[in-house]
């Protein structure tokens, strides 16, 4: 009891010292030249008529405070199909077009099987990031006559074309890989041809001079007066030692609160930490010692840092404060704001507890905690896709956030698809462990954030934005732990043990199977784990089973590294 009181006083003292350490984002506003836009059409005020003509296909186009450039009618669409995603608001507009190259004259030699999605944005303001400089890009001589000063940049796996017209920055972006083309991979050279085609058919189709108004200032950051007795968090950029993309590098020490969000988990407590370099984690394929794990509670360590771990997803610090940033943690994804240029892109978040089917289980049961919209906004997501984007467009905020690892079948059944508008706090889905397939990762939510810059949308560290949102959720201020501060002891709740064979109601009340999985999902029956100490089968069969399992693991690793997990669709 005395220890708890002393720690609470220490938290209050440290919180007072850290009260003003959250920073506001910096932005640069555009001043749209509506007279120039009107003159390009030869009329004094053509926009009411243009908006009326376009509104049936692009609802809300008159809300755009910048002139709207789009491929519009059948004479100029050139194979592009408008999706259900079009959002216009005080921060500008964003929309996505799709094109199937096999059905498009002039592009039919591109063997990419899936639709190519092109994100097009007109930006009322852009974010000025304090991290590594963004690429300047290169001039595009072939298009300079249409868009003077247009530049091409390849950044974070997107080829981007940015230009200024009517005093406004416009950007097109296509997800691609800078490699040779394949049936399931769109090369960036192929993406260039698609972008060129779209840019050549852009036309002025709407917008509203009266919607522009003066640029809004960033509102002050509000933090609760009350100090939490238990919520604490490591400083941004403070990764688990040795887990950066390069072992000697730490993370991105970014104190910016990029948006005032509602926390993405419906209820507290929640725990932001690494799902890969904590207990039961796979060490992001950097190597484990011992290499094979076969029983719950078995000790092991990631080879990058030797930190002692146990083979139990419900264990220890997985479900305990303090929080820890893992934006720049070891991953093979391009992240321009990370010191090594590669990283995780976002933040892992675990819900309040882990439920096990029995005392011997080492996996948490999914579908027990709700995920909600962090703000009023619009969804961007195609059927069967794992990633869910929520676009936020207000007078002082232009942000898109991404949720990962929910089951696509449930998202499809719930209608979480492009064009759906949501309010802050609306149910978006259930926490799961989906990563290309059921049980493909641990039980957690991946959450990341992008903001528009002069070259379009780029990843930024969401950590302090989440800290601020969590403080609002719990109604109390957390304590930042800096280098050298004492780390409080982990006080994790014991895992929930479910009654074997009993049906468990989902958060929504939907019927579930005995394993706690919604009945819409059909899972293959699980086979017994092959362990290193199995002695109930002939050695030959055991070696064969091990070889098969190792081959399957290598295939999964290669597939994950090559997957298109953040296409705009």
Q: Is 433 within a domain? A: no
pLDDT of residue 78: 77
Q: Are 128 and 263 found together in one domain?
A: no
pLDDT of residue 294: 80
Q: Are 546 and 454 found together in one domain?
A: no
Distance CA 563, CA 512 (A): 30
Q: Are 346 and 475 found together in one domain?
A: yes
Q: Is 517 within a domain? A: no
The enclosing H or E element of 10 equals: helix 2-17
pLDDT of residue 293: 86
Q: Is 428 within a domain? A: no
pLDDT of residue 299: 95
Per-residue pLDDT of the chain (569 residues; tens, 9 = 90+): 333 433 343 444 444 334 448 999 999 999 999 999 999 999 888 999 999 999 999 999 999 999 999 998 765 677 899 999 999 999 999 999 999 998 899 999 998 989 999 999 999 999 999 989 999 999 999 999 999 999 999 999 999 999 999 999 999 999 999 998 888 899 999 999 999 999 999 999 999 999 977 778 889 999 999 999 999 999 999 999 999 988 788 899 999 999 999 999 999 999 999 999 999 999 998 999 998 888 899 999 999 999 999 999 998 889 999 999 999 999 999 999 999 999 999 999 999 999 999 888 989 999 999 999 999 999 999 999 999 999 999 999 999 999 999 999 999 999 999 999 999 999 999 999 999 999 999 999 999 999 999 999 999 999 999 999 999 999 999 999 998 888 888 777 788 988 644 434 444 444 444 445 676 765 443 443 333 333 344 445 545 655 665 566 555 555 555 544 444 55
Q: β-strands 68-70, 203-206: how paired?
A: antiparallel
Q: Are 180 and 39 found together in one domain?
A: yes
pLDDT of residue 568: 53
For the chain, percent helix, then strand, then coil, each to nearest 5? 20, 25, 55
- Beta strand residue intervals within 235-372, DSSP E: 271-272, 288-289, 299-302, 308-310, 333-334, 342-343, 346-350, 355-356, 370-372
Q: Is 421 within a domain? A: no
Closest CA to 396 of 221, 265, 550, 230: 221
Closest CA to 79 of 112, 108, 119, 122: 108
Q: Is 426 within a domain? A: no
Domain of residue 332: give its range: 227-367+438-511
Structure tokens at 362: 């080492």
- CB 123, CB 170: distance < 8 Å: yes
- CB 358, CB 500: distance < 8 Å: yes
pLDDT in tens, 215-229: 788 899 999 999 999
Distance CA 93, CA 402 (A): 18
Q: Is 290 within a domain? A: yes
Q: Are 284 and 153 found together in one domain?
A: no
- DSSP for 356-382? ESSTT--S--SS-SEEE-SSSEEEE--
What domain count does the chain have? Answer: 3
Q: What angle is formed at CA 260 by the lines to CA 259 and CA 261, rounded to 5 degrees? A: 100
Q: Are 287 and 160 found together in one domain?
A: no
233 φ/ψ angles, rounded to the nearest 5 degrees: -150, 140
Q: Is 41 within a domain? A: yes
pLDDT of residue 468: 98
- DSSP for 432-487? B--SSSTTSS-SBEEEEEEEEETTEEEEE--HHHHHHHHHHHHTSEEEEEPTTPPP
Distance CA 568, CA 48 (A): 30
């Amino acid at each position: 009891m005395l220890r708890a009181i002393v720690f609470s006083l220490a938290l209050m003292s440290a919180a007072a010292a850290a009260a003003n350490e959250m920073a506001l984002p910096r932005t640069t506003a555009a001043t749209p030249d509506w007279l120039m836009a009107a003159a390009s059409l030869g009329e004094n005020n053509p926009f009411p008529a243009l908006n009326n003509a376009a509104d049936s296909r692009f609802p809300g186009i008159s809300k755009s405070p910048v002139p709207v450039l789009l491929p519009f009618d059948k004479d100029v669409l050139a194979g592009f199909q408008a999706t259900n995603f079009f959002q216009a608001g005080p921060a500008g507009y964003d929309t996505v077009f799709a094109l199937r190259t096999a059905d498009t004259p002039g592009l039919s030699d591109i063997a990419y099987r899936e639709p190519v999605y092109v994100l097009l944005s007109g930006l009322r303001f852009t974010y000025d990031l304090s991290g590594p400089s963004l690429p300047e890009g290169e001039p595009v001589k072939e298009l300079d006559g249409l868009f003077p000063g247009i530049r091409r940049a390849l950044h974070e796996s997107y080829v981007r074309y940015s230009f200024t017209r009517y005093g406004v920055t416009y950007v097109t972006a296509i997800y691609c890989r800078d490699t040779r083309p394949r049936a399931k991979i769109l090369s960036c050279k192929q993406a260039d041809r698609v972008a060129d085609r779209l840019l050549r058919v852009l036309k002025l189709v709407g917008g509203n001079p009266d919607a522009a108004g003066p640029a809004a200032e960033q509102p002050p950051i509000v933090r609760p007066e009350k100090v939490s007795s238990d919520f604490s968090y490591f400083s941004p950029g403070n990764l688990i030692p040795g887990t950066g993309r390069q072992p000697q590098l730490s993370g991105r020490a970014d104190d910016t609160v990029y948006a005032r969000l509602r926390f993405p988990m419906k209820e507290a407590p929640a725990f932001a930490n690494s799902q890969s370099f904590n207990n039961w984690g796979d060490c992001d394929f950097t190597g484990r010692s011992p290499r094979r794990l076969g029983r719950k509670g078995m000790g092991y360590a990631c080879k990058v840092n030797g930190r002692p771990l146990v083979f139990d997803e419900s264990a220890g610090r997985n479900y305990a404060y303090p929080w820890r940033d893992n934006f720049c943690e070891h991953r093979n994804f391009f992240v321009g704001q990370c010191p090594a240029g590669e990283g995780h892109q976002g933040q892992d978040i675990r819900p309040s507890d882990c439920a096990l089917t029995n005392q011997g289980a080492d996996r948490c049961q999914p579908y027990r905690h709700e995920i909600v919209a962090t703000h009023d906004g619009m969804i961007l997501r195609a059927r069967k896709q794992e990633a869910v984007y929520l676009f936020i467009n207000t007078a002082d905020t232009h942000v898109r956030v991404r949720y990962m690892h929910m089951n696509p079948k449930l998202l499809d059944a719930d209608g979480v698809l492009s064009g759906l508008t949501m309010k802050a706090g609306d149910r978006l889905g259930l926490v799961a462990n989906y990563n290309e397939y059921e049980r493909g990762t641990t039980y957690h939510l991946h959450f990341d954030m992008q903001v528009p810059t002069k070259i379009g949308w780029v990843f930024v560290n969401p950590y302090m934005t989440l800290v601020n949102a969590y403080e609002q959720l719990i109604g109390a201020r957390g304590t930042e732990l800096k280098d050298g501060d004492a780390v409080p002891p982990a006080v994790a709740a014991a895992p929930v043990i479910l009654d074997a064979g009993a049906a468990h109601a989902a958060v929504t009340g939907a019927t579930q199977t005995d394993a706690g999985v919604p009945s819409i999902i059909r899972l293959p029956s699980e086979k017994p784990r092959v362990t290193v100490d199995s002695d109930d089968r002939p050695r030959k069969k055991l070696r064969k089973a091990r070889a098969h399992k190792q081959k399957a693991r290598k295939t999964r690793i290669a597939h994950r590294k090559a997957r298109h997990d953040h296409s705009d669709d």
